[in-house]
Amino acid sequence: MSSPGMPSIWTITDLVNNIMKSVRQVAQMFLDSKEQAVDEDIGKEQTDLETALQEGTAVTTYFNYYILALGIEFSSGDDDAVRELRMVYAALPQDDVEVKELRNQQRGFSESQRLEFMKRLKSEVTATKTALQELANRKGCFAIQDPSQYSLDLREKVRKLFPMHGNNATFCEGASHLQKHASAALSAITSREPGGGGYVCHHCNLDLRCMEIDEAGSITFTEAEWRTLAACHMRAHFSFKNLAAWYKCRICHDLGVEPPLIFVSPVAMMIHLKNHWSGDIEKSSVEGAVR
């Protein structure tokens, strides 16, 4: 596989997104062309490897866990992490042309050659996960132990593992303004961050941004969705290095739900709100205040 001309300013997020995109492309190519293994033992091991690659979202899991705990400090990475991840990326097909070339080559692979390639591919996934873990360790964040158990609920358990700065009982004054004034625009309480990475609240100076990723890459919200989220944010965050705001469900708050439903993830907050709107959670008369 060739060495790419990678942009020098790629962030950890860019690198992880592109590594996982390449891994998924190659893994799917092998899965699509898979034939019955001649050797039963090799076939079983190959199947196990393919399953592991299909579940390669474990890397995304590690990334999201650390990005929630450490914020921009983790996203910016450090020299060691960038170097290690660039080496991983350089070992993978870089574009559609290289994937096509590999597709043509693998048609002539023997079962053992195919297995060896899958092992190499898996090793790159492992190297990515290790680079993220080591970066988190250098940043003072302990490692997540079992990403296979990672879920939306566990994502929210992240906030219970770290000390909180701020008040977990009150909405920010900016959020309260949006709740009280349905016609107020998001710009009434926030400024856009340089580069369009998110928003900063004028009242609490906390960041309203999403740095999580999924299989499609970085997760984005519309301005209307950010207004909804901004109306739910609190004067609470992980640390003075990680100023990403926390969120509380306005609907559940007005219904008197105890204990308060607090989210460190804007993705989790939005999913919860959409469950209200879809009827998965009982609707209330205050729905329109945050929708």
pLDDT in tens, 119-143: 788 888 889 988 998 888 888 776 5
At 208 the pLDDT is 94
Average pLDDT value over all residues in the chain: 76
Distance, CA of 223 to CA of 181 (rounded, Å) = 17
Task: Pick the more confident residue, 267 or 165.
Answer: 267
Residue 287 predicted with pLDDT over 50: no
At 44 the pLDDT is 65
Q: Which amino acid belongs to residue 76? A: S
Q: DSSP letter for 58, please.
A: H
The predicted model scores a pTM of 0.71
Q: DSSP letter for 107, please.
A: T
- Report yes or no: 214 and 259 within 8 Å, Cβ to Cβ: no
Cβ-based burial of 27 (10 A; exposed 0-12, middle 13-18, buried ≥19): buried
At 85 the pLDDT is 93
Q: What average pLDDT does this structure show over 51-71?
A: 74
Give the tens place of pLDDT for each residue, 232-254: 999 888 777 788 898 988 888 88
The answer to which of 76-90, 207-221, 272-286 has the lowest mean pLDDT is 272-286
Q: Quick one: tokens of 127? A: 């190297």
The answer to which of 56-65, 114-123, 137-146 has the lowest mean pLDDT is 137-146
At 196 the pLDDT is 66
Residue 116 predicted with pLDDT over 80: no
